Amino acid sequence: MKGLLFNTYVFIFAFWPISVGVYFFLNRLRYVTAAKLSLVIASLFFYSWWNISYLPLILGSIAFNYIVGRLLQVTVHGSDDISVDQEQKDQRSKRKGLLHSPKALLTIGLVGNILLLGYYKYTDFFLINLTEISGHNFPLLKLILPLGISFFTFTQIAYLVDAYRGKTREYNLMSYILFVTFYPHLIAGPILHHSEMMPQFDRLRNKHWNWNNASKGVYIFCIGLFKKVVIADTFAEFANDGFASAHQFVDTWVATLSYTLQLYFDFSGYTDMAIGAALLFNIVLPQNFNSPYKALSIQDFWRRWHMTLSRFLRDYIYFPLGGSRRGELIAMRNVIITFIIGGFWHGAGWTFLVWGFMHGAGQAVHRMWMKVGKPLPKWFAWLITFIFINIAWVFFRADTVTQALRLLKGMIGLNGLDMSSLKTLAPAGLFILIFLPIVMFASNSSERVEAFRPTWKKAIFMAVIFVISLLYFNRITEFLYFNF
């Protein structure tokens, strides 16, 4: 994993500016296709550097989904008679054969993607549980999770579903490969939508160097880098120690709050770096965070946290299940199912299923309260929401349910209120007291970029936090969402 992180940071000094220079040089010569190809090669090189054996995997996934997507486009748009609905088209297609049926094609595409993701991500989980249930010892495959498989799989599932719905137009293979592999987002998101990305690769104004975008990109990239290597990696030390041994009231709260803040600064830091890297190519990635710990409800939290995942869960799982069209009880069932699936997407383990169920149940309770309850004071709504999120993160981080329960017992005082560790926990407590208010009250990265104007003060600020970040490279830890 440290090789992977070194891989990422090498882009800061060499590969990123080189790929930017080649891209705009080729565009300046009007070699537009060659410019796109240079980005595709750069992205695949970046992906392969970690483990080249998985390059055929992502290329095979791209080829499979592109072919299925094109067949869907041809099949769905094959009739010019607008009076013919999708069901009638499907009936006609059945008489023509399997590959002329939109539903059959979509099923093939979804099954193919789910089987690929399931094989690498969940095989050992099912084998472990099958061993426990049956008593027969099934040997584990111990598969290494291919880099970014969850993100490029979800991205392509969304593309296929939209092709089935008739929402995509014909894209050439080069644009499609670039859409899937564009390296700023490839390994940890955001989860992209074809309609917001593919047009940008063909837009004329995006093919010329833009100093405003470049300065914004470097600015937000430096902020994201600082968030990751200075703040998140410091909280990681406190969280790792706490989850390994904490059991008293104070040390469990310090451990869980440290992880809550580590996860925020780690993932939002990576997203800032991805958005910043893309801006140098004049490509605008979607916002993925909007001060999620300021949320006043669980529903509000998911409108702010990992926003592109929330959009995917809503559009491609919750709505197809029926959404809220069939009454409140069905809507609550659907939201719980959606978040259980979302939890399982994050990792193969019972703790992730519990985490997903908690968020689904929390949203269901919120829906009921909005129907029958009175609005809570804002401070109280925030407090309840933040405590719930912090408790749910315990299951997200814990290796086992037993470990999670140990921490939760400590948090409510069932394991004692020993204060003897206060001195040892002082550095972690101080870090929490400094950065929690910043998360709560400071402008977020998106707001800073919107208000950004290049000045000498900002240049000095970027230089200072960049140099400070370099000083922390000796203790690099993994990006948390690389695991998902």
Q: 268-272, 418-422, 435-439: which range is least confident on average? A: 418-422
What was the pLDDT predicted at 448? 87
Tell me the two tokens of residue 24: 């705009």
Rounded mean pLDDT of 328-342? 92
What's the pLDDT tens digit per position in 141-153? 887 778 788 888 9
149 plus 261 within the same structural domain: no
The overall average pLDDT reported for the chain is: 85
Rounded mean pLDDT of 433-446? 91
Q: Is the pLDDT of residue 297 over 60?
A: yes
230 plus 166 within the same structural domain: no
pLDDT band, very low/low/confident/very high, at 301 (cuts 50, 70, 90): very high
What was the pLDDT predicted at 67? 93
What's the pLDDT tens digit per position in 156-179? 999 999 999 888 876 788 889 988
20 plus 85 within the same structural domain: yes
141 plus 269 within the same structural domain: no
* Residue where one domain finishes, among candidates 166, 186, 208: 208
What's the pLDDT tens digit per position in 232-279? 999 999 999 999 988 888 899 999 999 999 999 998 998 999 899 899
120 plus 252 within the same structural domain: no
144 plus 222 within the same structural domain: no
pLDDT above 70 covers a percentage of the chain that reads 88
Let me know: does 19 contact 38? Beta carbons within 8 Å.
yes
Q: Which sequence positions are flagged as catalytic?
A: 346
* Residue where one domain finishes, among candidates 183, 208, 233: 208
pLDDT band, very low/low/confident/very high, at 411 (cuts 50, 70, 90): very high
Q: Is the pLDDT of residue 86 over 60?
A: no
Q: Is the pLDDT of residue 75 over 70?
A: yes
Q: Is the pLDDT of residue 79 over 50?
A: no
Distance separating alpha carbons of residues 260 and 243, to the nearest angstrom: 12
Residue 131 sits in which domain range? 2-208
Q: Is the pLDDT of residue 84 over 80?
A: no
Distance separating alpha carbons of residues 61 and 73, to the nearest angstrom: 18
How would you write the chain as a 3-class SS string?
CHHHHHHHHHHHHHHHHHHHHHHHHHHHCCCHHHHHHHHHHHHHHHHHHHCHHHHHHHHHHHHHHHHHHHHHHHHHCCCCCCCCCHHHHHHHHHHHCHHHCHHHHHHHHHHHHHHHHHHHHHHHHHHHHHHHHHCCCCCCCCCCCCCCHHHHHHHHHHHHHHHHCCCCCCCCHHHHHHHHHCHHHHCCCCCCCHHHHHHHHHCHHHHCCCHHHHHHHHHHHHHHHHHHHHHHHHHHHHHHHHHHHCCCHHHHHHHHHHHHHHHHHHHHHHHHHHHHHHHCCCCCCCCCCCCHHHCCCHHHHHHHCCHHHHHHHHHHHHHHHCCCCCCHHHHHHHHHHHHHHHHHHHCCCHHHHHHHHHHHHHHHHHHHHHHHCCCCCHHHHHHHHHHHHHHHHHHHHCCCHHHHHHHHHHHCCCCCCCCCCHHHHHHHHHHHHHHHHHHHHCCCHHHHHHCCCCCHHHHHHHHHHHHHHHHCHHHCCCCHHHHC
Most confident range, picked from 15-19, 81-85, 219-223 = 219-223
400 plus 264 within the same structural domain: yes
221 plus 151 within the same structural domain: no
Q: Is the pLDDT of residue 4 over 70?
A: no
Q: Is the pLDDT of residue 356 over 90?
A: yes
What was the pLDDT predicted at 328? 85
What was the pLDDT predicted at 85? 53
Rounded mean pLDDT of 307-333? 88
231 plus 348 within the same structural domain: yes
What was the pLDDT predicted at 82? 37
* The residue type at 481: Y
297 plus 173 within the same structural domain: no
232 plus 200 within the same structural domain: no
pTM, two decimals, is: 0.87
Number of domains in the chain: 2
456 plus 475 within the same structural domain: yes
Distance separating alpha carbons of residues 243 and 403, to the nearest angstrom: 8
What's the pLDDT tens digit per position in 7-58? 555 555 667 788 888 888 888 888 888 888 999 998 888 888 777 888 999 9
* Residue where one domain finishes, among candidates 174, 208, 242: 208
